[in-house]
Amino acid sequence: MPPEFTRKGRIDEIYGIYLPDQDERAEILRIHLGLKDRDPDQFDLDAVAEAAEGYTGADIKEVVLMGLKLAFHAGKELANEHLLQAIPEIRPLSRTDPERVAAMTEWLGRHTKAASEGRASSGARGVNGRQRRQRVAV
């Protein structure tokens, strides 16, 4: 957007949407499994969320859909194994075009506030005291 449109007084705040962290990916999985009438408590959401690092919310939705297809073709009910098998089938932008994602992340870091509560700044310390990984945007 042109700078004159983004000055204070025109727009109150501009928020950056970054790639979801581990907890956010698990919550996104919980939501999409629930939307497909599956009990999220029957899955190891943390393991699937960890395997889906670098995936957007839309990518995670596709993982659930692909997992359902894999389970259907195997004649089984959806299980963790199907979701884990689906992950490599979905190619996230963070892996197919990492340069563009890095450039967007840098821009967001300079021009926006993080929309996620846990992302106050790219240099913020995580709950365990370790340096947080760099924010990535899509």
Give 124's contacts (C-beta < 8 A, 6+ positions apart). Answer: 132
DSSP sequence for 61-101: HHHHHHHHHHHHHHTS---HHHHHHHGGGS--HHHH-HHHH
Name the residue with tokens 């009438």. Answer: 37
Q: Which domains does the chain have, with CATH numbers?
A: 3-114 (1.10.8.60)
Cα distance between residue 105 and residue 17, in whole Å:
9
What sign for the dihedral angle of Cα 46, 104, 115, 125?
A: positive
pTM of the model: 0.76
pLDDT at 79: 97
Tell me the pLDDT of the chain (138 aa) as tens digits.
Answer: 677 777 777 777 778 888 899 999 999 999 999 999 999 999 999 999 999 999 999 999 999 999 999 999 999 999 999 999 999 999 998 999 999 999 988 988 888 888 877 655 443 333 333 334 444 444
pLDDT at 138: 46
3-state secondary structure of 30: helix
Cα(72)–Cα(57) distance, rounded to whole angstroms?
23
